[in-house]
Structure formats: structure tokens, C-alpha cells
Amino acid sequence: MLGETDHDGGDSPTATGGAQNGLGFMKRSSSHNFQNSPLKHTWSSSSVKDLTAATPQEFVSKFGGSVVIEKVLIANNGIAAVKCMRSIRRWSYEMFRNERAIKFVVMATPEDLEANAEYIKLADNYILVPGGSNNNNYANVELILDIARRQSVHGVWAGWGHASENPKLPELLSLHGIAFLGPNAGPMHALGDKIASSIVAQTVGVPTLPWSGSHIKLSKEVLESGEKLVISDAMIEEGAVQTPEQGLQAAERIGFPIMIKASGGGGGKGIRKVENREDFVNRFRAVQSEFPGSPIFIMKMATNTRHIEVQIIADKHGNAISLFSRDCSIQRRHQKIIEEAPAVVAEPEVFMEMERAAVALAKAVGYVNAGTVEYLYTSEGFYFLELNPRLQVEHPCTEMVADVNLPALQLQVAMGISLHRIKDIRLLYKEFPYSDTPIDFDNPTIYPQPKGHVIACRITSENPDEGFKPNSGSLSELNFKSSKNVWGYFSVSGSGGVHQFADSQFGHCFAYGDTRYDAMSNMVMALKELSIRGDFSTTVDYLITLLQTDDFIENVFDTNWLDNRIANNVTAAKPALMPALVATATLIADDDIRNNYLHYRSCLERGQVLPPSNLDGYKCVELIHDGVKYKTEVTLLNPSEYFLQMNDSKTVVRYHRLNDGGLLLSLEDNISYTAYMKETVDSYRLQLNNQAITFEKENDPTLLRAPSAGKLVEFLVEEGDHVRAGTPYATIEVMKMLMTLSCHIAGKIKFVKRPGAIISPGMLMAEIEMDSEMCYNQAKTYDGGFEFVHHDTKGTSMKPNEVYKQSMRGLEYVLDGYCLPEPMFSEHYLKLLGKLVKSLRDPTLPLLEMQDILNTMSGRLNAGLDMAIRRELQRYASNLTAAVCQFPANKIVNLIDDFMGSQIKNKSDRDLFIQNTQPLVQVANKFREGLRGNAVAAFTSLFVRYLAVEENFQIYHLEKSVKQMRESDMDVDLVMGHIRAHSQVQRRNQVVIALFDSFAKNFHHLVLKLKAVFTRFTELNQPTNNRVALKARKALISLYQPSYESRKNTLESVFLRVLDSASFIDKVATSELYDLINQDMAI
């Protein structure tokens, strides 16, 4: 299920809360109890009606608002846009009984349209905007204003990222009478700017870490005046550092390690950690390049910290409240990946102080709408980090534990509604929802407290195995299974994708539980059931691993925990190597063989005959994993099996092609796997039973190629420089994130692209003139075999009738051209032939075949007839060891005929009876002449299978033979089957000659019955068929020797003469008998 599921802000599971946090820390039940409230009301339909409205105009009038908002422009894309529309539409239905009462206009780039973005389909209208980076679209304030004016919207929602923290946006909108669903420009500037917010925090007494502006505070007189605090540009400039030299002086004054931060940075950009003075200048310039023109400041880096957030909401009437805390400490590259609410790492009193400080900050600057105050928490206390003047990605965590709908709250606040008039807020404070009595938010009758626990996981298109490298591409499948305690939002659907200019996050999953452990368990199961297939890697497997670590379960991690794991190459759980290797090789070979087949078919339909070698069904696959190269030879064994050989080891893989492009595989370890494979520029990414693993290709290390689509930001070395292996040589921007690329070998570098160039996957950016081939560590070749972990399966050996069917089918596939390379080919067909002959001579074969048919007809055959047939079979089974034992085929057919003649009179009933009993009659007819008759039929069918192909190629030229088949209206797939089989004619000749010899040896007295088939063999006139034609002629010549009856009579007369003699030692008779027995034509 895509998009939002059953849980959004305002909707919550029925489970009760267990975690403690917030102001008061009192248990809150899932139902709202007003017994302790000073206002007690009786619920009635009239009071419910008082809380609803027919239109937004009526709502604003009834609830004391000031701005009517009926149409909203969403200046964002992806998950942000999806979440906003779904949340506000839910509130609209509750309030107006019309989810479309608020109309939404969205901005859409060509890339978003191409990716089939979900938010575009949800909107009431979309406006096409320029593509490329967000400066061209979602972060372009003038463009947003222009669209808002042209579309006559009443409000603009910016969400997070892009222009959401640009004070210019609310400023310009207010000049044109358009509401901004966020803070005003002044408070946004005061608190949204990291330097300004730190100064405000210091002024109102909120603890801050040492930084380059620690000495700056507003005067006591300004603070006590009660006016809104305003931070001047001069104060911001004083807190910033202008040059690397100034920054280094501040860093040494504060003490390493420190953080270099851009005041306008965020989302992991514009921030660098520096542990020594040697690295300072380069990292300072890196921050400058990411946010040109933004003030830069230096801050002490705290260690062993937790990243804690407090959600605040404030209205236009001076009210501000906190909505509990969130713990967002699990981050990579300063970007969150797992969030949870409420935070439980400290005592409740600590979070109480954090929330009070957050509310004080908001009131000090006259903040309006939703915002997030971020702190760093250590065992020594908490420190103000920054205030984000917007909604956060992880806000649904708060929605769940507070039972509120934050986007709907933003809309109502923008309409001028006071917090105490909003239903969600009244319920949060245990006040009667259908009332307008004021609430003393600073000293409420009952302090709110969070309900339960929520864990959130960001689903991103990043590869954890490569340092969370972002990647883009199309999406084939997205299957998320929601439940009452698990829900999620996704910005793409199964037919969409993630483009190179998008945010790498395309999904957000949330799990609720009474306790933190319950929420964690629910999330793990949800992620294990989440199926995502596409051109890009995701973080799903890695998230599952993180959630199950002891550190996470015991809640003993910090903000550096994940980065340390990444640095130590701790990866997600992977599928077992050998099944993954076999699956990848099979998928690569299958893709190649299938493409060859389709290409050949396409050419054949156009009249072009390609060389038959294109249909050989063979592929050699080389894969590298962890510095080891695996070479696997894959051959198509039959339409449902592949034969794999690696060194001296062999295995067979049974496969079934799925409609969605994957393969269902059965391997030697007795486990079935669902496998999907995606080829990239330098690797193959396999998804095996929802676990991912990557195999590398063997690439030229002297060619430095782009790993992903994006932009080349800068080269970190000079052209012509000598670089060592592992030296960072370039920085690229991929999906709003900066990545550093490193060389794999030592040598002299030469640039191919220039900084600023737009790059695509595999594009050549630079070349290296290698010092020596010896300096390159090539992958070591694996010399072992297939090593599977075998799972014990208690099974029985195959029954003779199953062996017969399997060996017949195997020989038929060989004669159809599915031939293994030598020496496996001879071993394969001779083994099949031996099994076939053994099963053909087994007297239980007809008995087992007939019993299988009877079992499948249970309930459809008359009970009396069924019993009669089974009695005949029982008699046959009891006489199997007798010298003469004939299968009762005629008796069974007579029983069926007699029953039909005597019991069934109606024609339609008779037709149905014949149809139902036809399988029984077919088996009986096959064994009318006993085992010998069935053997003749089996060998005849194999011989005819060979002839059916070769008789079409008796014209010398292949092209003419194919043309003749096509002109006879033969199906194109059948023609291709004949071409493939004929291309293996020499190996098929081996099989046919072996069939001749086996039949002559085991069923020599039945050779005459194959006279017609042998005659067809002698008519083959091509050199490729000479061996089998000669073999058939010899067999026919042998037919003209004395007949079986003649030889029988001769032998009988010899025996009689011996018996009639006076003594058994009659030398003449004995000698004559000895000579006869040793003749070739002996019986």
C-alpha cells in the first residue's frame, strides 16, 4: 500500500500509552476522560455540529479566525507534499465532511513528472516549473510568489527543505496578502538563522555550547521590556567568522574538536567536523562552497551526545505550547535516519526543562506556527543547538504520541484560530472539545503527557555498503503492508522513480507500541515485509540491522554511533554468499540467453537468419565479491533448469520466471529464493528474499567514472598530480548530498570533465596513468566449489513411474538441443538412458501409472467401477514375481466399456464418462502389449523427436531450410526450436546411436517393430546425419536374418534331440547346441 495508511495526525491506535515524558508525566488513556476537568459537558449531536462547518469561510467565522484559506500552494515535492495533502484532507473531511474543501496546487518539475511522483497525482492542480536543482524551482522564492499570485491561492505551505527557512518567502507573500503556513519573516530570521537563534537562546538563559559568538547577548533592558527580540545583522556578523584565519583563531580559543557550520545550512550540508588545525582550512572552504554567502560560525563539538528535539506550536494570539520531545540521535553525515518519540534517555525533569526553554524561546521572538527546537544532551546537561522554523520530516512521531494533526494545526493557526479553539489541542489538555473556554497553557489543570512510543525510519535511495551513497532510478515495485500499529508515507509508487535532483528520502515508516520495545518490534517486522525493487539501493536492510543491535535495544547510542559503524564497515545482514552467487550468475545468464533468443526471433520474423550459435544457451559469468573473483559457467539445461559449473563443482538450479522480471529459484540447499537483479555501471545488485548484496564487475582501474548521476563540484587535486591509491580526487553532488570520490590505484591523473559538469552514471571523469601494474591489487580467483549449507530433508526415492517420466523428459530435452558441454554431456545423457531402460523393464511401471490416475480421479469415478479396476490391479501386483505376468490392460478397458454400455444411457452423460475415463484408457492402451509395447512406444517417440528436426534440414543451406519451414506456416518458435536442436546435431547423433545400441541390447526381439522409423533414418542424406543413417541401415539388414520363429524352432529341435538321446552326454548334440547358443542370431 502506498502513501499514508490508516494512521495520520489526529488518528491513533487504540493502544494505551506507556512511555513517560512532557510536562506533568501523567498517564493518558486512549479515550479522553474529562472527569478531572473543571468543565464537564454532555456529548450530544448538537455540540458535535457546533464543532463542524460547511465551508472554510464558516469555519473561520465560527472559530474566531481572521484569514480564510481555501486554496493552498505547496512549494515542495516528494514526501512533504504527500504528507501535507493527506493530513489536511483528513482534517477537511472531519471538519467539512468534504476532503476537497481545501484545494491544493503543486509545483512539478519535468523530472518529477518523469518519475511519476505520487504528490502530483494527489493534487487538485499542478504547475510545470523548470527542472534541475531546487534553485530553479522549489527554492526559488520569486517563482513561488509568481505561481501563488497567478493561481490565486490563499496560502503557501513550504514544508521542510527548499525555501521553508528563507525569511524572504513569508515577507514577499505578506506584501501580496497571501498567508504563509509557517512563521513570519521576523521570527524566522531571529530563530531560523543558527547564529541569531543562538544569541536569542543565550539571552533568555538557555544553555549553549561554546561558540564563536558566546559573548553576544541582548541587553537586560531589551529582555525585560517584553517586546519581541530582534537580532540585528551586525550581531550576526559579530558571531560569525569571515575568513579561514579568523575561524582558526576561534577554533583554537574554543578548543578542538569543533564544528564549522553555515548559518543557513541544514540537512547534512554546510557542516564539517574538524579535529585538528591541519584540516581546518580545507573544511572551512568546503562549507563555504556548499552555502555561498551564508555566515559561518565555529562551535565546540560535544562528544557522547544525544540529539533531542522539542516540537512547538504557537498561534497569533501569543500562545505557545510544546508537544513533547523526539530523539533523533541516529544519524549519518549529520542526517537523521531513525527517530523516536518521546525521548526516554534522561529523567522526565530534564525534558520538562527542555520544553519550557523551547516555549520561552518562541515567546521571546513572537514566534507563530510550528517549529522545532533542537538540543544536544549529555550526562552533564542539555545545550541549545538551533531552532528550525518549520515542520520536521519526523513530525508524525509527535502526531502519534500527542494525538494531533500538525499540518492541519499549521493551517488553522495561519487562519488566525487560537490554540484553545482547536479540537486536537483541547483534547490534549483534557478539555472538553466542544467548548471555547480559554486554557492556561502555562499552568494547565492537567499537564499533557505522551501516549505510547513511536519509532520512525527514513527510507532512502542510498547504498549503505558504499557509505550511504545516494542513487537514483526507476521503481519496479513498492509493497508496504500497513497495520493498526504501522503506517507510512511514500513519495513514489510502483511505476515511478527517484530522479537525480530529488531528495534521496522517498519513504517514511512509523511504528507505534505501548512501550519502546513494542514499537521497535513492530517496526522490524514492517521493514522485513517491505518490498522495494528498482534501479537503486535502499537502506531497508541496514535499518533492520540497526534496530536489532544491542546498543539500540538498550538505548545506549549517541550521535556518532552510526558514523562509527559505517567507518568500521559494519554492514546490513546479507544473504548467504553461495546462494547469492548462484542466483546472480543465473539471473545474468538468463537475461543474456533470453535477450539473445528474443533478438534472434525478431530477426527471423524479418527474414534474417542469424548464426545458430546465438541460441547455444551458454554464458560465462565472472563476479567479484570482497576481493575474490568467482568464475561460473552457466548452461541452459532445459526450459526450467540451469546447469552451473565452477571449477570442478556442479549444481543445477530450477527456475520459474516471474511476471515482474524476477526469478523463483530452487537451489541445492533445498530452499526456494525469490531473486531480482539490477545491473549498474560497475556492479550487479541482487535482491534475494528481500536481502540485498552487491557483486562487482571487473573494471579498468585507470578509468575514473561517475558512480551516480549528479554534478561534478570540484577536483581535489591538480591535473597532472601524482596520486596514491585511496587519494580523494573529486567531490560530486548527488541528490542534494556531497560525495568524495577516491582513486583505486597510484599514478598521474588527467581530467576529462571540468567542475560544474553534469554527470551521468558511468561517465568518464578522469584517467590515471598507472605507475605499475604491480601496484594494483587484482581480485584473487576462487578455486573452490559450490558450498551450500544443506538442510536435511527426509524424502523417499523416486518411484519407477516417476523415474520413467523424468528420464524420458530429460532425453527429450537433449534431443531438442539442450546440450551440456563435454564431458558433462555424455555423463548426462548416458545416466538418463540407463534410468529409462531400467524403468521400462520394471513390472511395477504400469501398476504405478494406473494407480496415480485412479488417485487423481477420486470422486469422479463410479465407486463400483473404481473397486473393480483396483481388484484387477491387486491381482497383477500379487503375481509380479510369477514367470508369466501380463498387465490386465484389456480387462480394464473391458470393465470401462461394459460399465458405460450397461449403466450410462444418456448421450451427454456418456460423453462426460468418456472424458473422465480417457486417462485410464490411454494408460491401458499403452500397456496392451505389456512392457515390451511400452518400450517400443518410448524409443519410437525419442527417434521421431530427432527425425522431426533433421528432416527439415535436408537442403544443403541453412537459410533455405529455414525459409522452407517459414513458408510452410510453421510457428516461429517451433522453427527456432528446430534451429537450436539442429545446431547440436553431432551431440544429438551420439544420443540416437546410444538409443539404437540400447534398444538392440535390451529389446532386440522387438527391433522389427521399429522398421518404419529406421527406414526414415536411412532417407537422411546430409553429411551431418551419416552416422545415424548408417546405423539404421545396419539395423534394417539385421532384420533379414532368419526370423525369430525360425531360430526358435531350430533351438527347440536341438533340445528335443538331446532329450531323446539315451544319454545327456551325446557329444554331437552337445556340440551342436553349444555352437547354436554362441551364434549372433541366437534367441
C-alpha grid cell, residue 904: 450410462
Tell which residue, 1077, 1068, 998, 1010, has the closest CA to residue 1039: 1010
Write out pLDDT tens, residues 427-446.
999 999 988 999 999 999 89
Q: What pLDDT, on a 0 to 100 scale, did the predictor assign at position 745?
A: 86
Give SS3 for 958.
helix
Return the DSSP state at 188.
I
Are 195 and 113 spatial neighbours (Cβ–Cβ below 8 Å)? Answer: no
The continuous run of DSSP H or E covering 136 comes out as none
Of 89-98, 331-340, 734-743, 993-1002, which one has max mean pLDDT? 89-98
Q: Which range among 150-154, 213-217, 1051-1055 has the greatest average pLDDT?
A: 150-154
pLDDT of residue 25: 29
CB 158 within 8 A of CB 371: no
CA dihedral 289, 291, 295, 299 (to 10 degrees): -80
- Segment 97-124 shows an average pLDDT of 94
Digit-coded pLDDT (tens) for 592-643: 999 999 999 999 999 899 999 889 999 999 999 988 999 999 999 999 999 9
Using pLDDT thresholds of 50, 70 and 90, give the confidence band for residue 3: very low
Sign of dihedral through CA atoms 477, 481, 482, 485?
negative
State the Cα–Cα distance between residues 356 and 636, nearest whole angstrom.
70
Q: What is the mean pLDDT of the chain?
A: 87
SS3 959: helix
Active site residues: 390
Q: Whats the size of the chain, residue-wise?
A: 1083
User: What pLDDT is stored for residue 7 in this prediction?
Assistant: 37
Whether 517 shows a pLDDT value over 60: the answer reads: yes
Mean pLDDT calculated for residue range 873-881: 87
Q: How far apart are the C-alpha atoms of 122 and 118, rounded to whole Å?
A: 7
Average pLDDT over residues 193-204: 90
Rounded to whole angstroms, the Cα distance separating 212 from 249 reads 10
C-alpha cell at 57: 469561510
Q: How many CB atoms lie within 10 A of CB 355?
A: 22
Share of the chain above pLDDT 70, in %: 90
Q: Is 991 helix (H, G, I), strand (E, B) or coil?
A: helix
Helix, strand, coil fractions of the chain, as percent rounded to 5: 40, 20, 35
Question: What pLDDT score was predicted for residue 671?
Answer: 85
- Per-residue pLDDT reduced to its tens digit, 532-566: 888 788 889 899 999 999 999 999 999 999 988 88
| Cell numbers placing 712 | 561534478
pLDDT at 1065: 52
Q: What is the pLDDT of residue 1066?
A: 55
Q: Any idea what DSSP says for residue 75?
A: -
Q: State the pairing for strand pair 125-128/103-108.
A: parallel
User: Which residues is 665 bridged to in the sheet?
Assistant: 655, 673
Q: What is the DSSP letter of 611?
A: -
